[in-house]
Structure 1
């Protein structure tokens, strides 16, 4: 028992010793940290004071009070706080760590145009480049702006003066138009005046001819031609074909042909008004070439795409009238026009018969064309030889149209062509001629030229004639 009590007393003493050692260590550590804390606080306060002084110093600087950097063509160090003008070359010297600037070298480098203008203006105002204050800079800038404003004002005045000289005021133009009392007329109103002038008994021959000349321009349009019909102008022109004055006949036929072109309504009214008979009379009687040329034009406009007129043309002996033109002297220019008309009428009927369009109106037109026996009449009246003889003409365009007509009539005229020695001779001569022309075309690089097409037509006709012999 006594032994246990002794052990407890020893343990309590050891614990007390440990507590004392811990207290001593804590005090020493605390005494070491306090000076450090005090030193740290002191340094922070000092930094705040220094930063405050610097910020105040920077805030007190006015941009206008900054020292201006005066550049030269040599590199100079830019000190802190110096204002560097625009347009300079600036670099960082890697050896010294300082910024340097200089003026651009005019010999080797292109400076900005604006900077050149600024330096020029500064030179003109005699600004001392060695030293000037912010106030002097402000005054120089004010002078520059004033000078620019003056230049702009002078330029504007010059432009305004130029505009006044080149253009007239709108008020002046309006006044002149009002004095002229100008009025824009419609085509209908113009045609009314022209018809009245042509129909007036007081109008001279020249005035009537001039009226017809102007009317021809207007009646080309389909709607104007219909208005011309409603105004009674068509019948007046048809009656003008009976005039004893060749000039009136010529221009009346010209107006009639223009109004008839591709205008079925006018075609019907014209044939009912007796235009076909009057045109055939002009072509059958002795008339100047100009009159017959315009009459043939009007006849062609009436017959195209109008089977009823074609039928009446055959009944009235129109083919015989046209055939007689080839017997008259001085009518050579009409030959190819007649052949072209016959070719167009034959092809027109063939295309319609071969058409797959089976509408009611088209069927009715086909039936009308079946009554027009144009090709048999052409063969019967000897047109095959008349047409083939035109191959002797020298014009290539004439030969082309004649060759087309001969080919389209080949089926009906083959018997006559096979016995025509003159035709065979002419075709052989033409083939030789066009072989040379086609070869020349090919040498020039034109493989599918005009003469090659003519040569092909000639060869086709020759082959068809030879096939007929077999």
Structure 2
């Protein structure tokens, strides 16, 4: 009897020990939860394998090599290296020594299998801590394939709406419509103008269209290379006034802000021919286009300005003021003189580097202002203040203001100018006051009144 009592006492002690150890491990598994991470941290640093080495834990393993443990409502063994989702119940099986886990009691619904999760990957947000790297790669691959399919579908939709340029060209050719470049069009227009078979109207139409194209700098250079510029210069000698007019129009358009064409034009004799047109008896329309071409040649081209003065260009322009029916050209001439004088002044006053020094030296050789004073342009310009148009007066007032430094003594002795300035001041005082009454404090007439008052003040 004592022997069996001893055995029962020993068994009771073992059972008590099992309960204590179970409680300790249960408390340890709950305290090992790391709330800031999605997965439960499994500590096995104190467990060694048969080789005496510490096994690799979750913290040491490559994230792509981790395998996710998918818990159910039944206890399942956790294999080494598996990541357990947070919130799972974990225990140590004392009989087998394995860790086991399951879903918390009380959760509704069935647990998802791995296949079910894979089916829902494309429709739910993916948690990289809850899926293996292989599963994530498959999801990304599906997303790329979906994006590629959408892009391909969009390209197909665009192709259905729009036809390729090759197909359009073929259809245009079938309709006898060919897409031509500006160069090809200019070649045809020049050929039409230069052809003896073309009628006068056809030649005029060709020149009219050419003027539109040569406004562009690159087209003007192409126009020069194909011989069109010299044709226009020769056209200034035409016996037909309308051809002379439109040839000057095309020439002026090609010369505008195009130094290369300006140089070729003056070397081709365009300056002399334009001055001849302005100096001889010609229709107003012809002289108007010739003056336009001359202005395009002289602006920002000091060498041409110097040659203009040597050829007596100022005298030619002065003669326009003595010819009847040329009044509309007077303001254009004054505007040209103003632009040339201010152009030189601005360049000399501005800060510049070595690159502009050569151009400044060229401008210094242009003695435009002394020639203007010598030929009494001071009075010629100031007399235009008597014209009724406000726009004309504005341009003349600006020119008088620029010439004031050179023509002051001449202006002080001009009684007609003094009377005109007094009348203009009275007129613009009234117009400026009316502007202010209408709420326009800085109006157009106030600006003109300021210009008049400035000139009167300087002449006192």
TM-score (norm 1): 0.62
Structure 2 residue 366 is matched with structure 1 residue 368: no
Structure 2 residue 432 is matched with structure 1 residue 438: yes
Q: Shift of the alpha carbon at 1:176? A: 6.9
Aligned to 2:423: 429
From 448, 455, 459, the equivalent of 1:461 is 455
Cα-to-partner distance string for 1:102-137 (whole Å, 9 max, x where unaligned): xxxxxxxxxxxxxxxxxxxxxxxxxxxxxxxxxxxx
CA 1:180–1:326: 2 relative to 1, 3 Å:
same
Equivalent residues in 2 for 1:27-426, closer than 5 Å:
177=172, 179-359=174-354, 361-426=355-420
Tell me the distance in 1 between the aligned counterparts of 2:393 and 2:269. Answer: 35
- What is the DSSP-based 3-state SS (H/G/I as helix, E as strand, rest coil) of the residue aligned with 1:326? coil
CA 1:178–1:224: 2 relative to 1, 3 Å:
closer
Q: Shift of the alpha carbon at 1:177? A: 4.4
Cα-to-partner distance string for 1:245-268 (whole Å, 9 max, x where unaligned): 000000000000000000000000
Cα-to-partner distance string for 1:369-403 (whole Å, 9 max, x where unaligned): 00001001000001000000000000000000000
Number of equivalent positions: 297
Tell me the distance in 2 between the aligned counterparts of 1:177 and 1:229. Answer: 31
Cα-to-partner distance string for 1:228-276 (whole Å, 9 max, x where unaligned): 0000000001000000100000000000000000000000000000000
Specify the structure having the higher radius of gyration (Cα): 1
- What is the DSSP-based 3-state SS (H/G/I as helix, E as strand, rest coil) of the residue aligned with 1:185? coil
Q: Shift of the alpha carbon at 1:204? A: 1.4
Structure with bigger helix share is 1
What's the C-alpha RMSD, in Å, of the aligned pairs?
Answer: 1.8
Q: Shift of the alpha carbon at 1:181? A: 2.8
Q: Shift of the alpha carbon at 1:284? A: 0.2
Q: Shift of the alpha carbon at 1:179? A: 3.4
Deviant stretches of 4+, over 2 Å = 173-179
Residue pair 2:169, 2:179 contacting (<8 A) in 1 also: no
Residue pair 2:169, 2:178 contacting (<8 A) in 1 also: no
- What is the DSSP-based 3-state SS (H/G/I as helix, E as strand, rest coil) of the residue aligned with 1:350? helix
Structure 1: runs of 5+ lacking an equivalent: 1-169
TM-score (norm 2): 0.63
Q: Shift of the alpha carbon at 1:323? A: 0.3
Tell me the distance in 2 between the aligned counterparts of 1:175 and 1:367. Answer: 57
Structure 2: runs of 5+ lacking an equivalent: 1-163
